[in-house]
Amino acid sequence: MSLQHHKVVLVGDGAVGSSYAFAMAQQGLAEEFVIVDVFKERTVGDAMDIEDAQAFTAPKNIYGGGYEDAGDADLVVITAGAPQKPGETRLDLVDKNLGIMKSIIEPLMASGFDGIILVAANPVDILTLAAQKLSGLPTTRVFGSGTSLDTARLRADLGKKFNVDPRSVDAYILGEHGDSEFANFDEATIGGRSIKAFAKDANISDEDLDAILYATAHKAYEIIDRKGATFYGVATALMRISKAILKNENAVLPVGAYMDGQYGLNDIYIGTPAIINNQGVASVIETPLSDSEATKMAASAKALKDIADEAFA
Ligand code: NAD
């Protein structure tokens, strides 16, 4: 990766993708930014629109393009996916989105691409595994947004509860990005002091903490009910991960990382903290878990493994 010139390709210029492109432009990240979508005219329109914002931020080269532009890209971010239709099962959606992932990875790899792939399309943990297997790239260079958005939501809620900047809350949502995710309340801290101690001081019970987790895990539905989709939160999480990659930060961020023995798990992607730099996942941080949290991690991994086994059968 050249220090002077970073090239990012976005695949999927919908609500999430276009918000991500805008967030990247606002931060002045990526000297060259290519937008790819089956809806080609929209990519050109979005590039033109974001170009207009750059007189106020920093000049970058942003354009609608194709996979042929990806050969020398540092990072490809995939937000292309079909939404779940009424009556469709989760596995139907998996099948459909696996087909979309195949139609992306084949031309991407044919371009000679040899960078990092970051996946956000859902079901993200399964689609990340598919992207890795289809691309043949090292597992460290293909990873997912995992529980990054969920963790952001949890930190914001805990920050509000304890009147602390959410960036100072060291708590994680771990596991699947989905129904079996859980919070590491037994291990979470603020300023090195346990969240449970803060909760006790504030008369917040374990049930109240569970209610915060429930609200975090169900916030997407609350937003979707009101505006049809969620995109600013995840787009900002993707921007933050991209920044850690492009600026070689070694930042500790929650992502969907490949399990190679960590937490006793293998051959799945799952939400965990990891060190992110310009090599992708430099290392997975196997964060300490209490016994009950370890049980939740195992159950979440099993839920993912069952879907993966069926999807890849
Ligand atoms: P959207 O429908 O607005 O956008 C999807 C885009 O993908 C569309 O522009 C569509 O034209 C494009 N697309 C479809 N098939 C394609 C293909 N084969 N090649 C290229 N582009 C293709 O949807 P959205 O709201 O932007 O959501 C996108 C994905 O992100 C969904 O899977 C959604 O579930 C997921 N999402 C993930 C998180 C997270 O935390 N990981 C959060 C929110 C949404």
The DSSP string of 143-191 is EE-TTHHHHHHHHHHHHHHHTS-GGGEE--EEB-SSTT-EE-TTT-EET
Task: Measure 65 CA to ligand 1 centroid, in angstroms.
Answer: 17
Q: Which protein residue has the closest C-alpha to ligand 1 atom 25?
A: 15
> Ligand 1, closest atom to CA 17?
26
252 neighbors 274 (Cβ within 8 angstroms): yes
At residue 57, the pLDDT reads 85
Distance in angstroms (rounded) separating the CA atoms of residues 122 and 80: 9
Compute the residue count for the chain. Answer: 313
How many Cα atoms are found within 13 Å in the side-chain-facing hemisphere of 260? 9
What residue ranges of the chain have pLDDT lower than 50? Answer: 1
Distance in angstroms (rounded) separating the CA atoms of residues 156 and 262: 28
Per-residue pLDDT of 134-188, as tens digits, reads 999 999 999 999 999 999 999 999 999 999 999 999 999 999 998 899 999 999 9
Taking alpha carbons only, the member of 67, 73, 69 closest to residue 115 is 73
Please tell me which residue in 5, 6, 177, 218 is annotated as part of the active site.
177
Would you call 218 a catalytic residue per the annotation? no
Task: Measure 82 CA to ligand 1 centroid, in angstroms.
Answer: 6
The type of residue at 45 is: G
At residue 3, the pLDDT reads 54
DSSP run (H or E) holding 280: strand 280-284
147 neighbors 173 (Cβ within 8 angstroms): yes
Task: Measure 121 CA to ligand 1 centroid, in angstroms.
Answer: 6
Distance in angstroms (rounded) separating the CA atoms of residues 298 and 263: 8
Pocket of ligand 1 (CB under 6 A): 11-17, 37-39, 79-81, 83, 100, 103-104, 120-122, 124, 145, 149, 177, 229-231, 234
Overall pTM > 0.90:
yes
